[in-house]
Structure formats: C-alpha cells, structure tokens
Structure 1
Amino acid sequence: MKKKWPLLASVVASAASASIAALGYTISNRVMYMKQKDEQFIWNREVQSNRLDEDWFTHVAKESFIVQSPNGYPITCHKIQSTTSLNTIIILHGVTETHINSLKYAQVFARLGYNIIVYDQRRHGKTDGKTTSYGFYEKYDLQAVVEAVRSQMTHDALLGIQGESMGAATTLQYGGLDDTLFDFIIADCAFSTFEKQLHHVLMRDTPIKTAYAVKLADFFIQKRDGYTLREVAPIEAVQKISKPILYIHSLEDTYIPHTMSEALHAAKPENTRLVLFEKGEHAQSFNEQPFDYEKEIIKFLVDFHISYLPQDYQFPQKKRRTRIIQPA
C-alpha cells in the first residue's frame, strides 16, 4: 500500500502541471490571438453612427503606398490628401479594429490643415503578422511608417501621431525609441504597462483572481512570442520623449482605467497635458463628445505652439449621432 503513495503523488503532480500549462497556454492565446472585427462591420458602424462622412471620404483625394515592416511583411498605408500643406498626422487604431476605425478622426485633422495617414496594425485587417504584441513589435512597424512619411516631407512640415488604445500604447513606445522625426503625440486611452493591464482584465473579466496568472501568461508569452510583459511599458517610454504629448481618457472607461493615463502624465508631466472626459466607455471619448474632443485638440496644438487654425477653418455643425451597440 505504501508503494502506491509515490505513484499517486506523481499522478497528482503531473495533473497539476498539465492544468497549469493549459491555463498558461489559454491566457497567452487570448493575448496573442484576440479575435478581430470584420472590416465591413467597422465601416457600417462608423457610417451609420455619422462618425464617417461617406460622401466626404469618397471625394477627398486618396492614395496608397507600401512600407516594408522590419518584422517581415508589407504594410499598406492609406493617405488622405486633404490640404496643400505637407503637415501630416498618422493615426493608429486599437486592438480588434482596422484602419477604418481611425477614419473617424480624419475630418478633424483635415479641418486643422493636416493630411492623414492610416494603416492596419500588425495582425489586423490586411496586415500580416503572426501575433498581436500590444506595441512590442508594432512600434517597429510605426517606426518604418514614420521614416517613410518623413522622407517625403520638408523639414519644416509638421508630423504628428495619434493612437487609440493599443494604438496609443504603440505610439508612446515608438516615441521612446526615437522622438526626432515627429512633432507631437496624442495618446487616447493608453495603458501604462501591459503587465498591469493584463492583470486588470483578468481580475475584471475572468474567474482567475490571482496575480500568479499574469506571471504564468508572461512565461508562456516569452516562450511563444519572444518578449516579456515588462518590455511592453509605455510608462517607461514616455520619460524619454521630449515632444509635446496630449493624453486623453474618459472617466467611465473600465477596460483601461483612466488612472493609467494619469500615471503616464505623472511620469513626465513636462510638455504634456491630460484631458479627462466625463462620458465614454473604452475608446469612446470622441464618440461621446466629438465637439469638445476637437476643441481640446485645437487648444493643445495652439497652447503648445505646434500649429494654428487655418484661415478657412470652420467648426463643424452638430449632427445627431446614432448609438451603435457593438456585439461582444
């Protein structure tokens, strides 16, 4: 009978190890392979909610060009030529979205005298890439796009970058690599560190109420995708950025809490501004208060002496916005 105890212990240990491995694999899968939204669904959602003026988009001058990612795939960039000026803004979407989601900001920047460039981030839309890494690999894609765009601009032309959610985190991480080629950043609802963000989501959305789950996910992500969660840390990157940054967040955001933007701002408050809107779930600040959002962008650009309103600028007339309920 005594001889069975070592065997039983071995079986229990093996079962526990298998369960832990399965949990780590499952969490890392969820992180790396989050389900994407259909591009046509995004287009219909933006048009129906009046965030994308289909007639304006149809008639505005557009062109596409290819940038080769250092990660090994082509990135198709879409340029909206809305002004004779060379001033340009690159806009990055968040996780599960595509460049179509970025177009809701296009008319804002067109009114402000900027051309607009959007593209699908890694493993989104028509851009290849095995995994989503929340800025770790994506920042090098953005670096390649910035270099390509800047090479076609005059020295005195302005180049800004706006990111939403993962796009904001990507933008800040790129800025920490090199802030010499762009003039300003607008970071809408960025997370401060991916380690804290994953912990928050696991606590909020799953029955896994332990910090060990994050450590387990970190181990599997490092083995499977080549980076650690601690390496995805916008809060460290912002301390290396000297260019002006506008942080935007909504107080109702429960996916990425507004305290993360507050932490980013506090990490290096010099030459930065934090705007907190009362309304809006995650990445909904513009959707809930588009006119106030545009006013805050204008104030940022003017107050930080980046650019001024074009002489023909006209503040948009308020339109009724249809609330679109997104499926889970």
Structure 2
Amino acid sequence: MVICGGLAGASLYFYQFAFVPSRKTFLSHTTSPAVAKAQHWLAQTTKTTWHQTTPDGLKLVADYVPAAKSTLKTVVVAHGYMGTKEKMARQIKLFHDAGFNVLAPDDRGHGQSTGNTIGYGYQDRGDYLRWLNQVIKRVGRHSQIALYGESMGGATVMYLSGEQLPSQVKVIVEDCGYTSIMDELAAQAKAMYNLPRYPLVPTVALTASLKAKYNVFQASTIAALHHNTRPIFFIHGAQDNFVPTAMVHREYAATSAPKKLWVVPKAGHAQSLAKAPAEYRQRVIGWIDRYFA
C-alpha cells in the first residue's frame, strides 16, 4: 500500500509537471537576437487573427500572415512545448520571405488559446485539421498547403500525417519531433531524475489519459507515419539531448512515402535553424517547392 500510494503521488506530481500548462523551469526562457528581430517584424507586419471553437469548447487563436504577393500556397506552422506562435516568428518570416502565406496557431493551453492541459500534438491534431479546413475555405479550394512543425510541433505534423488529410496538403517538414509521448516522458525521466521507464511512465500516462481525456498510450508518431502518404522531410540536431537524436531514425524508417533526412551537425534541440540558417532555408524551401505545383 505504501509503494502504491507513493507511485500514485509521484504520478500526480509528474502529470502536473508535464501535462499542465505553466512556466517550466527546465526550459530555456532566453530569446536569441535573431528570434527577437523576427518577433519585432511579426508584431509590425500585416496579419489577421483567426479563431476556432473546438468540439470540447476551447477557444483557439491563430495568426494568418498573407504573402506579399497573392498566392494559394500556405505553410501551417506548429510550435513546440509551452511555445507560442510568436516564438515561431523566425520560421514564419522564413516562409513569408519565400512567398508563402503562413498560418501559425497557438495550441490548446498555449499562448492566447484556452485549455488546461497540454496535448503534445496528439490531442491537437484534430484542431489542426480544422485549421486546414479554414485555410481551404478562406484561401481557396485550389490551395496548396505545407505542414511544418518544430519539437512538439514536429510531433504534431507527424501525428497529422496519419490522418485523412485534405488533398490540398502536399508536403510535410518536421524538425526534432519525438516518437511518442511515452518515449519522451521516459527520456526526460532518465535525463532529469535518472529514473527508469517502469513503473513510473505508464502510471503517469494512465493519470494523464484520465485527467487530460486523451489516450496517451496510443500517441505514437511511428504508428501515424505508417499511414503517411505525403512527402516528408525529417530534421534533427546531432546533439539533441531533449528529444534524443536516435528517435528520428525510427521515424524516418516508419514511412514509405517520399522522404529525406538531415541530421544537423553540432545542433542541439530545436537549434538546427540557428546553427545553419542559410542551409536550413535552402533545404526546407527547396523541399516544399519540389512538391508545390
């Protein structure tokens, strides 16, 4: 009973730690000069605010930044864990400068969107399907759409890859997303507390499934990628210790769709763009352009 009580208490603690939105001390809260410059640009540039209400009653918000020259080509940008659309300003500007419209949502429980739990991309995938439908409705049924995500956003677009996507979605770019929520919880339990995967991670997953109301055990990007038919570009830092680099090789192997892998030398987690900005832009825009008409 003592052991079970201790395990239950630890599960509730780690659920609060990992699944409830709050300021996380284990995350960096510094803003690089390049990101700060892009955020200033984003604050000043022409954009509109889009909204949606989810089936469970949440109010979600997104920024839509139209291209300087009218186009049907749109990139949907998914941010990372405890991120916001503003934290993706550098990527938004990258795609805008390449001539694309950009839609950048705040996920449930993040930024201006409401919600009391973190969906880790798996719960958010339905929200993104509704954002995609808005793009098609507002931009046009002949839209061409690319999905881009970094970290949790990378997992988000991989989860989306296993869904019945609109035909307008042509291509995917994922940067440093994880293989599953449970794998990422296990990696962090080991890295931060030197704790083994069992028995803690399954009990935390069970607690989260009950309290957050989505099945954490089923949240596997590997399973989603088995159903993927869209061309997908995988990017990962060679020195990523937050989402271990080994995960991207499993993800790459999981899909039979056209694919490409770039492991960026000396890059840590979500640092590939910062480490190699010119090459990153060339590779990512080149990949998207290849599959846009």
Scaled by the length of structure 1, the TM-score of the pair is: 0.81
CA distance in 1, matches of 2:156, 2:218: 12
Q: Which amino acid aligns with 1:74?
A: K
Q: Pick the structure with greater CA Rg.
A: 1
Q: Where does structure 2 lack aligned partners over 5 or more consecutive residues?
A: none
Aligned twin of 1:67: 52
Q: Does 1:197 align with 2:184?
A: yes
1:147-296 to 2 correspondences below 5 Å: 147-180=133-166, 181-296=168-283
**SS in structure 1 of the partner of residue 51 of structure 2:** strand
Deviation, 1:208, is 2.2
Compared with structure 1, are the counterparts of its residues 226 and 60 closer, same or farther at alpha carbon in structure 2 (3 Å cutoff)? closer
Deviation, 1:117, is 1.2
Say whether the 8 Å CA contact 1:279–1:289 is kept in structure 2.
no
Greater Cα shift, 68-77 or 285-294 = 68-77
Scaled by the length of structure 2, the TM-score of the pair is: 0.90
Compared with structure 1, are the counterparts of its residues 60 and 233 closer, same or farther at alpha carbon in structure 2 (3 Å cutoff)? same
Q: Does 1:130 align with 2:111?
A: no
Aligned twin of 1:49: 34
**SS in structure 2 of the partner of residue 274 of structure 1:** strand
Say whether the 8 Å CA contact 1:37–1:97 is kept in structure 2.
no
Deviation, 1:56, is 4.0
Say whether the 8 Å CA contact 1:68–1:75 is kept in structure 2.
yes
Deviation, 1:161, is 1.3
CA distance in 1, matches of 2:215, 2:285: 38
Which of 6, 9, 19 in structure 1 is aligned with 2:6? 19
CA distance in 2, matches of 1:34, 1:295: 35
Q: Does 1:111 align with 2:97?
A: yes
Deviation, 1:34, is 4.8
Deviation, 1:193, is 1.4
Deviation, 1:74, is 1.8
Q: Where does structure 1 lack aligned partners over 5 or more consecutive residues?
A: 1-12, 308-328
Say whether the 8 Å CA contact 1:70–1:140 is kept in structure 2.
no
Q: Which amino acid aligns with 2:244?
A: P
CA distance in 1, matches of 2:93, 2:160: 25
Deviation, 1:17, is 2.6
CA displacement, residues 250-286 of structure 1 (integer Å, 9 cap, x when unaligned): 1010010122111111011431111110122111111
Compared with structure 1, are the counterparts of its residues 224 and 147 closer, same or farther at alpha carbon in structure 2 (3 Å cutoff)? same
Compared with structure 1, are the counterparts of its residues 29 and 156 closer, same or farther at alpha carbon in structure 2 (3 Å cutoff)? same
Aligned twin of 1:140: 126
Aligned twin of 2:16: 29
Q: Which amino acid aligns with 1:199?
A: A
Which of 279, 284, 293 in structure 2 is aligned with 1:297? 284
Q: Percent identity?
A: 20
How many pairs were matched up? 289
CA distance in 1, matches of 2:120, 2:39: 30
CA distance in 2, matches of 1:221, 1:56: 38
Compared with structure 1, are the counterparts of its residues 26 and 113 closer, same or farther at alpha carbon in structure 2 (3 Å cutoff)? same
Q: Does 1:78 align with 2:63?
A: yes
**SS in structure 2 of the partner of residue 45 of structure 1:** coil
Taking only aligned residues, the RMSD between alpha carbons, in angstroms, comes to: 2.2
CA distance in 2, matches of 1:186, 1:199: 25
Q: Which amino acid aligns with 1:49?
A: A
CA distance in 2, matches of 1:262, 1:205: 23
Deviation, 1:199, is 0.9
Greater Cα shift, 252-261 or 201-210 = 201-210
Compared with structure 1, are the counterparts of its residues 50 and 30 closer, same or farther at alpha carbon in structure 2 (3 Å cutoff)? closer
CA distance in 1, matches of 2:139, 2:104: 17
Compared with structure 1, are the counterparts of its residues 194 and 59 closer, same or farther at alpha carbon in structure 2 (3 Å cutoff)? closer
CA displacement, residues 195-250 of structure 1 (integer Å, 9 cap, x when unaligned): 11111111111142342111221221222223333211111111212111111111
CA displacement, residues 45-95 of structure 1 (integer Å, 9 cap, x when unaligned): 25x335634664355321112122233112121111223112111111101
CA distance in 2, matches of 1:17, 1:167: 35
Say whether the 8 Å CA contact 2:237–2:264 is kept in structure 1.
yes
CA distance in 2, matches of 1:50, 1:173: 27
Say whether the 8 Å CA contact 2:146–2:169 is kept in structure 1.
yes
CA distance in 2, matches of 1:50, 1:166: 18
Q: Which amino acid aligns with 2:284?
A: I
Q: Which amino acid aligns with 1:87?
A: K
Compared with structure 1, are the counterparts of its residues 54 and 192 closer, same or farther at alpha carbon in structure 2 (3 Å cutoff)? closer
